[in-house]
Amino acid sequence: MQKGALPSKNQFGFFEIRLESIGGLGANVAGKIIAEAGVVGMGFNGSNFASYGSEKKGTPVSSYIRYCDANKPIRINSPVTEPHILGVFHENLAARLPITAGVKSNSTVVINTDKSPQEAREYLRLSGGSVITVDAIKIAYEEKVRMNVVMIGAITKAMEFMDKEAMREAIKETFGKKYKNQLEANLRGFEAGYERVAIDQFDEDGRFPFIPFNETKSEWGYENAPIGGIILEAGSNVVKNNQSSRQGKIPLFHEGRCIHCGMCETTCPDYCFKFEPKEDSKTGKTLMFNIGLDYQYCKGCLRCVDVCPVEALTEELEADHEIEKMTAKL
Ligand code: SF4
Ligand code: SF4
């Protein structure tokens, strides 16, 4: 197997990668595969770990990969604060989390989006650096694979020092045993992610500031928490935004087919549907009519599509629809 040399290292001698994602998109597995390709395939020393919440799907996930020279020990286990490569698996994360913290002009951001690199730079408000965009959801949909292999392909493109064959071997090692039937499709998804990228480079032109990485600090601790751990402020879901939990699919409401049975409303875990009282033209009685759903609260679980008895809800690609306009009508 071909061995390589790292192109750049930080002051501690590491080349570092950070993946920002949400649970269910496979960033944790992607981190393991990328680390394995560097260690087994390229002969680096390396490490990987991930941090995530208690929910299996929908909550933010970060995965960290470090490479260094083979003879150097790794005695650091903290998050990657200034990544050479940042992989963004879900662009909506940028709306609620400082995922680009620590990205510098020598960093490369690889993002799953249908935007151009210029548009992605504006959206992410990057101070500078290289941007690689890949429509990983679309490719995953076409190849019938999870989007993490597509992102691995695009991240491999960003790692010019990485032997593509080493990454393919790491994918085979991970998916070949457990999901043998899916291996060819996964390798096709990887190749498509590697090829179907758009790349651009941006100087630090002062338009957006550099965002330093800050560790999240809890507001409450044992010294200042209210006695008994009482929660003094009532919670509310009104400001909650579940959009970043979606994985490229949405339920689409077809009002003309709806019989207003309420099955979707009782099934939806996030109370997305809006019903209004209206006079029924046949009976003259006032009944509750389904007028659609608010996509701010929809996490894309598609349970409503499963339960609808008349296909008034269908599974669609989010990119094909103007969500904001549909929600604004409600
Ligand atoms: S389950 Fe289907 S038919 Fe029933 S209210 Fe919901 S969208 Fe309408
Ligand atoms: S997909 Fe349907 S059931 Fe799931 S959160 Fe969205 S509206 Fe609710």
pLDDT of residue 216 exceeding 80, the answer is no
pLDDT of residue 1 exceeding 50, the answer is no
Residues 318, 198, 125, 217: what is their CA dihedral angle, to the nearest 10 degrees? Answer: 70
pLDDT at 214: 87
pLDDT of residue 302 exceeding 70, the answer is yes
How far is the centre of ligand 1, averaged over its atoms, from the C-alpha of 217 (Å)? 43
For ligand 2, atom 5, the nearest C-alpha belongs to 298
pLDDT at 272: 94
Residue ranges of alpha helices (H) inside 196-302 are 263-267
Choose among 178, 174, 192, 86: nearest CA to 137: 192
Domains and CATH numbers, the chain: 15-202 (3.40.920.10), 243-328 (3.30.70.20)
C-alpha to C-alpha distance for 292 and 280, rounded to whole angstroms: 17
Q: pLDDT band at 58, cuts 50/70/90? A: low
Q: Are strands 313-317 and 249-253 parallel, antiparallel or unpaired?
A: antiparallel
Condensed to tens digits (0 to 9), the pLDDT of residues 235-273 reads 777 777 788 778 788 999 999 999 999 999 999 988 899
CB of 313 closer than 6 angstroms to any ligand 1 atom = yes
- Please answer whether residues 187 and 164 qualify as being in contact, where contact means their C-beta atoms are separated by less than 8 angstroms: no
How far is the centre of ligand 2, averaged over its atoms, from the C-alpha of 93 (Å)? 19
Alpha carbons within 13 A on the beta-carbon side of 165: 4
C-alpha dihedral sign at 144, 147, 153, 157:
positive
Instruction: Please state the atom number of ligand 2 nearest to the C-alpha of residue 300.
Output: 1
Q: How many CB atoms lie within 10 A of CB 261?
A: 14
Q: Which residues contact 94 (CB under 8 A, 6 or more apart)?
A: 88, 100, 123, 124
C-alpha to C-alpha distance for 310 and 312, rounded to whole angstroms: 5
- Please answer whether residues 313 and 304 qualify as being in contact, where contact means their C-beta atoms are separated by less than 8 angstroms: yes
Q: pLDDT band at 56, cuts 50/70/90? A: low
Choose among 87, 67, 107, 82: nearest CA to 149: 87
Choose among 101, 95, 36: nearest CA to 62: 101
Choose among 101, 51, 48, 42: nearest CA to 70: 42
Residue ranges of alpha helices (H) inside the chain are 27-36, 117-124, 136-143, 147-158, 164-178, 183-195, 263-267, 303-307, 323-328
Higher-pLDDT residue of 84, 180: 84
Global pTM reads 0.76
How far is the centre of ligand 2, averaged over its atoms, from the C-alpha of 141 (Å)? 20
CB of 263 closer than 6 angstroms to any ligand 2 atom = no
CB of 58 closer than 6 angstroms to any ligand 2 atom = no
pLDDT at 207: 93
3-state secondary structure of 61: strand
C-alpha dihedral sign at 294, 295, 296, 298:
positive
Q: pLDDT band at 36, cuts 50/70/90? A: very high
Residues 244, 247, 253, 258: what is their CA dihedral angle, to the nearest 10 degrees? Answer: -120
Condensed to tens digits (0 to 9), the pLDDT of residues 106-146 reads 999 999 999 999 999 999 999 999 999 999 999 998 999 99
Q: Which residue has the tokens 């662009």?
A: 91
